[in-house]
Amino acid sequence: MSEKPVMLDGIRVVDLTTVVFGPYATQILADLGADVIKVESPGAGDAFRWSGKAAVTPGMAPAWMALNRGKKSVALDLKAEADREVILGLLRDADVFVVNVRGKALERIGLDYESLKAINPGLIYVHCVGFGQDGPYADLQAYDDVIQAATGTTTLLPRVDGNPAPRYLPSLIADKVAGLHAAYATLAAVVHKQRTGEGQHVEVPMFEVFSSFMLLEHLSGLSFDPPNAPVGYFRQIDPDRQPYPTADGHISIVTYDDGAVQRMFALLGQPDFLAGNGLGTPQERKSGLARIYRGIARFTPAFTTAELLRRCHEAQIPAQAVRDLGDVMDDPHLREVGFFQRREHPAEGPWYQQSAPVRFSVSKHGKQIPHPPLHSEHADSVRNRGWKAFDDEYDG
C-alpha cells in the first residue's frame, strides 16, 4: 500500500478551481497530506469531469479522476447567500485558498483577497490566472491552446519538420506546468507563514509561467543585445534529431557528449565512419551534428531494438525503446516501483491510480490517499462539520 505523506498534515486548502491548472496544484498538496475541500458548481460540477468516458458514473472521466484524488467535494452556489456563508466559514479557518475565477467575479461575491484578508489575515490566497493582473491581457480568458499560441510554442514543430502550419503540442502542457508552479508557490508561502505568521496574495499567471518555461532554452540568441543567433535551441529543433529506426521498431539514443558519439559508431560496427566523413575532430563533430544523426540512422536498421538497447546501455549511452502510449502501463520499471496502483473505487469499481512520482523516506502515516470524489460526495459532512469532515476520512 502506498502510504500518504504527512508533511502538510493539518494544512487546510479550499480549492475553487476547475479543469487542470488549479486542480493539478491542489492534488499535489493533497498528495503531500493537506486537507483539500474542492468546491464545485451545482449541476455538472468541474467541467473536466466530462473530459472522457466514465466507467460507471457520468462525470467521473478518467482524466478528472487522475487530477482529483485525495479531495472532498462539495457543490455550492456561490451566488446564494447560504452557500456563500458555507465557503466563508471554511475560509475563516483555512490556510490556503486556491482559485482560478477571474478577479472581477470574485469581487462581486466577496471572495477577493482584500475581503478574505479581513476575516482571515493569515490566509494564503493563490490566484491562478491566465495573464498577470497588471498587464493589458488581465481580463482575458486563457486555455492551454491559447497559451501555446501566445508563447510561440505552436511554431516549434514547423521549425523541425518544415511544415509551416502552426500546431499545438498534443498535451495540456501549459496547464500542467502552471499547476506545478502554483504548487511550489503555495509551498513557499506556507513556509513563509510558518516563519512569520503572515498570509499573502500569490498570483500565478499561466502566460508568464509558460513563457518562462519554454523560453529557458528557446530564447537562445535573442538573450543578448544585439542577438547573436536565431531564436530556438538548435538541438531541439534539428529535424534530424529524431528516434532512430531499428529492424523491428524505433529507439531513442542520446549521444550528448563527444565521447558518446565515438562510442556509438563503434558499437554500430562503424568505427571509421567519423574520420571518413569529415567528422574526425571534436570541432568537426560539434559543427556536424546533423550528419552524425543521419549517420546513426543509416546503420541502426541493421539491429533489433533489444540489441541496440543492450549495446547502448553497456556503452553508457542513454537509450530507450520508443513505446506506444498504450503500452506504457506494461513498462517493467513502472511496474516494479508500483507506479500504477490497481484500486477499487466504491462507485466506479477497479481503476488504476498513478502514484505521486516523488517519494519520501519519512513522515508517513500508513493511510492511502482517498479516491477521487463523486460530485458533491461530501456535501453533508462538509456543510455540517466543516474541516472536521476530515476526521472520518476513509482509507479505501
Q: Where does a domain end: 295, 321, 347?
A: 321
Domain identity same for 199 and 250: no
Say if residue 163 is in the same domain as residue 46.
yes
Residue 104 scores a pLDDT above 70: yes
Asked whether the predicted pLDDT for residue 395 surpasses 70, the reply is no
Asked if residue 178 and residue 47 are part of one domain, the reply reads yes
Domain count for the chain: 2
In a domain, 223, yes or no: no
Confidence at residue 1, expressed as pLDDT on a 0 to 100 scale:
41
| 156 and 271 within one domain | no
Establish if 384 belongs to a structural domain.
Answer: yes
Same domain, 123 and 258: no
For residues 71 and 197, membership in a common domain is answered with: yes
Domain interval for residue 136: 12-213+336-392
Q: What is the pLDDT of residue 394?
A: 43
Q: What is the pLDDT of residue 165?
A: 98
Is 2 among the domain residues? no
pLDDT tens column, 147-164: 999 999 999 999 999 999
- Could you identify the residue written with the cell 482575458? 140
Report residue 331's pLDDT band, with 50, 70 and 90 as the boundaries: very high
The number of beta carbons lying within 10 Å of the beta carbon of residue 204 is 25
pLDDT over 70 (residue 236): yes
Question: Each residue of 260-272: pLDDT tens digit?
Answer: 999 999 999 999 9
- Nearest C-alpha neighbor of 204 from the set 98, 113, 118, 122: 98
pTM of the entire structure? 0.94
| Residue 228 located in a structural domain | no
> Is 33 among the domain residues?
yes
Neighbour count for residue 72 (Cβ, 10 Å): 23
> Which pLDDT band holds residue 369 (cuts at 50, 70, 90)?
confident
Please tell me whether residues 39 and 80 are part of one structural domain.
yes
**361 pLDDT tier (thresholds 50, 70, 90):** confident
> Is there a domain that residue 222 lies in?
no
Asked if residue 393 has pLDDT above 50, the reply is yes
pLDDT in tens, 77-98: 999 999 999 999 999 999 999 9
Question: What b/e readout covers 245-270, taking b as 16+ CB neighbours within 10 angstroms?
Answer: ebeebebebebeeeebbbbbbebbeb
Average pLDDT over residues 46-60: 97
pLDDT class for 277, splitting at 50, 70, 90? Answer: very high
Per-position b or e across 290-326, b if 16+ CB within 10 A of its CB:
ebbbebbeebbeebebeebbebbeeeebebbbeeeee
The whole-number average pLDDT for the span 329-336 is 96
pLDDT of residue 366: 63
Position 220 in a domain = no
Looking at residue 367, what is its pLDDT?
A: 73
Q: For residue 327, what is its C-alpha cell?
A: 503500452
| 305 plus 346 within the same structural domain | no
pLDDT of 396 strictly over 50: no
Q: Which of 95, 91, 70 is nearest to 393 (CA)?
A: 70
Read off the pLDDT band of 127 (50, 70, 90).
very high
What CATH number is attached to the domain comprising 138?
3.40.50.10540
21 and 123, same domain (yes or no):
yes
CATH at 312: 3.30.1540
Same domain, 153 and 204: yes
155 and 266 within one domain: no
Flag whether 327 is in a domain.
no
Verify that 87 and 172 share a domain, yes or no. Answer: yes
> pLDDT grade, residue 226 (50/70/90)?
very high
Decide which of 321, 353, 371 is a domain's last residue.
321
pLDDT averaged over every residue in the chain: 95
pLDDT above 80 for 221: yes
